[in-house]
Amino acid sequence: MVDSVLLEFMIIGILGIGSQWLSWRFRLPAIVVMSIAGLLAGPIFGLINPEQDFGDLYRPIISVAVAIILFEGSLSLDFKEVRGLGRPVFRIVTFGALISWLLGSFAAHYVAGLSWAVAYVIGAIFIVTGPTVILPLLRQSKLKPRPAKILKWEGVIVDPFGALLAVFAFETILFFTSEQPDGTAFLLFFLASIFAILLGLIFGKGTGWMFEAGYIPEFLKSPAVFAAVIACFTISDEIRHETGLLAVTAMGITLANMGISSIKDMRHFKENISILLISTIFIMLTASLTRDTLLDILNFQIIGYVLLMLFIVRPLSIFVSTIGTDLTLKEKVLVGWIAPRGIVALTVAGYFASVLWEEGFEDARIVTSLTFALVFFTVCAHGFSIGWLARKLDLSSEGQPGVLIVGSNKFSVNLAKLFEELRVPTIITDSSWERLATARRADVNFHHGEILSEQTEYHLDMTPYDYLISATEYDSYNALVCTTFIPAFGRKDVFRLGIQSETGDNVKEMVYTIGGRVLFAKNVALEDLIQKIEGGYVFRKTTITEQYNYDDYIKDRDDQAILLFIVKASKKIEFFIEDITARAEQGDTVVSLTPPSKEFGKIQSKLKQQRNETNR
């Protein structure tokens, strides 16, 4: 056991972020890796026990972290995003949650062997899925927009409602088991819930107004938001336990729909904080479990309950609640299967396990084991199956990495046609319908609209595209586009063409952190590439083999040819960029822009060889 609390914090951080890195490196579900890491460090090897070592600070740390995570998730719930999906989302978070509550309670009583009182509370808690587990799965699986949006909205909205339902269920139990029933508790519960929503609205509107009016400087905006979130959560939670989650959700949704640019600018920072919190909190929760809790999971009643929740309760609640909506059968199957439980389920269940035990319900002792069993089995089952099932149902955009090209011109359109020949998903976007005429004539996939517009994310599905190339005639605009989309695509996969030698802006002294990576060779700008296309240059594809390796290709290529990119055998695309040398291996395809004479000579040589073989 580690003696230093500071050292324990270090171990938790390393395990959490290390688990995230391993899941990214080997394409594993992050929640599964974190669960295993926490179990190994906690109950299995006894290295750390956060709940014991942190003492009274343990639960406040968990509660504040969950509040921030839930706020960050709700901050992405813009009502514009759910256009066309409002009905199924509403049905799932209302009727679906109610059905799940009732069926889960019946399963907990008849299968897990819990008393009706405890089963009633547990059924309410287990309607939650939550952003702590849903959002990492969505990042990993690359679902198509419709099912992804439904799962995200359900996860964020149902989380606070699940906690509130548990409180309502608990108050109901106390009312019916009390010798002198008093309905005052119910009235206070509903009043506290209404107060939480109003408090969230006030904090959201107040924060947004202060941002827009300029009362908070830019460098204080992120700290001010986090301070406001903690204040909103704490005030509401102190008045009535578990209503704080509802308050921060209301605050986040309010800010998300005010159209404040500052909030959008901070979103990626908050996402990073959320990832850090999810990583550390999940390690803390799993490491705090006991060996007895893990042994209880092997109970056949608990296993039976988990299987029932996975294969009966969740699918049935989704199929019944979405009757009459426009969801397809495939979408219902996917949404009906994916329902991993996470941090909120563990924290709320841990709280009510102790409260129910104090009220004399002895079967509450297995609540923690039951909860962790459901959490672990659902994150494993859904984490490993979501990608496979989405591909089988044709609801996944995963496959050949695609390319999003900004700017329609002769070079970009011909490049897009080449990508389509290579079966690489490609789209050209431009705000000018006139410039898009080139793409329309070439029958290339295109989108008419300003890529930097807020509306773009609602009209253009960017899920299939892993790379972005900004290829307009304006250097400063290319830099702005790249800088804007670096957080979404990643710095190494955002590119722009070189500085225009004549018509472009004078941005050669631009800070290296601004804009994407410069494509192709030095001093090769868009105007040069367009001139080469007009001069008859052609795209040439060369496959590297064991007999004809990359060194042979470099030796044979024309000195005027421009190396563009390599399509790897793994289907990934590796672009040639300034100062970094790409190298093709056996099975890769090298694409270059080659002078017509070179290509014409090769064609003539092949034709001559074919004639000679025919004459023989």
Residue 311 has what pLDDT? 93
Per-position DSSP letters for 500-540, written without gaps between them: PSSSS---TT--TTSS-EEBSSTT-BHHHHHHHHHTT-EEE
Q: What is residue 144's predicted lDDT score, i.e. its pLDDT?
A: 80
Residues 18, 7: Cα–Cα separation, whole Å: 16
pLDDT of residue 515 exceeding 80: no
Q: Which residue has the higher pLDDT, 145 or 288?
A: 288
State the Cα–Cα distance between residues 123 and 374, nearest whole angstrom: 12
Specify the pLDDT at position 307: 93
**d(C-alpha 504, C-alpha 518), whole Å:** 15
The residue from 374, 392, 410 where one domain ends is 392
| Over residues 339-343, mean pLDDT | 82
For residue 531, being part of any structural domain is answered with: no
Give me the CATH number covering residue 466.
3.40.50.720
pLDDT band at 273; cut points 50, 70, 90:
confident
Distances (CA, A) of 563 to 102, 475, 574: 63, 21, 11
- Within a 10 A sphere around the Cβ of 57, how many other Cβ atoms? 11
pLDDT score for 108:
92
Residues 559 and 615 in one domain: yes
pLDDT exceeds 90 at position 153: no
The sheet with strand 494-496 has its strands ordered as 446-448, 426-430, 402-406, 465-470, 494-496, 517-518
pLDDT value at residue 303: 92
Structure confidence at residue 194 (pLDDT): 92
* Residue 607 scores a pLDDT above 60: no
Mean per-residue pLDDT, 183-204: 88
At 319, the pLDDT band (50, 70, 90 cuts) reads very high
Check whether residue 265 and residue 122 sit in a common domain.
yes
What pLDDT, in 10s, does the model give residues 420-440? 888 888 999 998 888 899 899
Of the candidates 85, 132, 154, 73, the one whose C-alpha atom is nearest the C-alpha of residue 458 is 85
Report yes or no on 117 lying in a domain.
yes
345 and 420 inside one domain: no
601 in the same domain as 573: yes
**What integer pLDDT is reported at residue 99 of this predicted model?**
93
- The encoded tokens of residue 275 equal 């990832």
Number of independent structural domains in the chain? 3
- Report the pLDDT value the prediction gives residue 565, as an integer from 0 to 100: 87
| pLDDT higher than 90, residue 314 | yes
- Residue 337, pLDDT score: 92
Q: Answer yes or no: is pLDDT of 235 > 90.
A: yes
Of residues 221, 549, 590, the one with CA closest to residue 422: 590
On whether both 452 and 383 belong to a single domain, the answer is: no
According to the per-residue pLDDT averaged within each range, which of 85-99, 226-240, 368-382 is highest? 226-240
How much is the pLDDT for 423?
Answer: 86
For residue 277, name the pLDDT band (cuts at 50, 70, 90).
confident
- Would you state the pLDDT for residue 232? 94
Unique residue bearing structure tokens 């514009």: 80
Please compute the mean of the pLDDT values over residues 223-227 and round it to a whole number.
88
Does residue 529 form part of some domain? no
Residue 612 has pLDDT above 70, yes or no: no
Is 193 found in the same domain as 92? yes
pLDDT for res 10: 92
Indicate the average pLDDT of the chain: 83
Question: Does residue 336 share a domain with residue 417?
Answer: no
User: Does residue 595 fall inside a structural domain?
Assistant: yes
Q: Is residue 527 part of a domain?
A: no
- The answer to whether residue 329 is domain-embedded is yes
Split at pLDDT 50, 70, 90, the class of 405 is very high
The reply to whether 425 falls in a domain is: yes
What pLDDT shows up at residue 502?
Answer: 54
Instruction: Show which of 392, 411, 445 is a domain's final residue.
Output: 392
**Most confidently modeled range among 137-151, 421-435, 484-498, 568-582:** 421-435
Phi, psi (5° rounding) for residue 532? -70, -40
pLDDT tens digit sequence for 321-336: 999 888 899 999 999 9
**482 touches 494 (CB < 8 A):** yes
Q: Mark which of 392, 413, 443 sits at the end of a domain.
A: 392
Q: Give me the pLDDT at residue 233, please.
A: 93
Confidence of residue 304 (pLDDT cuts 50, 70, 90): very high
102 confidence band (pLDDT: 50, 70, 90): very high
Per-residue confidence (pLDDT) for residue 476, from 0 to 100: 84
Domain with 131 in it: 5-392
Is residue 202 located within the same domain as residue 234?
yes
Give mean pLDDT, residues 459-479.
84
Which pLDDT score is estimated for 308? 94
Given a cut of 70, whether residue 231 has pLDDT beyond it is yes
Residue 164 has pLDDT above 60, yes or no: yes
pLDDT band at 222 (very low <50, low <70, confident <90, very high): confident
Q: Is the domain of 238 the same as that of 319? A: yes
Judge whether 337 and 390 are in contact, CB under 8 Å.
Answer: no
- Position 585 scores a pLDDT of 84
pLDDT, residue 352, reads 81
The pLDDT, as a whole number, for residue 175 is: 77
The answer to whether the beta carbons of residues 258 and 204 sit under 8 Å apart is yes
- Answer whether residue 601 shows pLDDT above 70: no
Instruction: Please check the confidence at residue 263 and state whether its pLDDT lies above 70.
Output: no
Residue 513 pLDDT > 70: no
pLDDT one-digit tens code per residue, 487-501: 778 888 888 887 665
Residue 66 lies in a domain: yes
With beta carbons less than 8 A apart as the criterion, state whether 503 and 478 touch: no
**pLDDT attached to residue 220:** 85
Band (pLDDT 50/70/90 cuts) for residue 269 is low
555/423 same-domain check: no
Same domain, 375 and 479: no
Q: Are 42 and 288 in contact (CB under 8 A)?
A: yes
Based on the fold, state whether residues 419 and 489 are members of the same structural domain: yes
Residue 505 banded pLDDT, cuts 50, 70, 90? low
- Answer for the pair 42, 287: CB distance below 8 angstroms, yes or no: yes
CATH of residue 191: 1.20.1530.20
Q: Specify the pLDDT at position 383.
A: 83
pLDDT score, position 332: 93
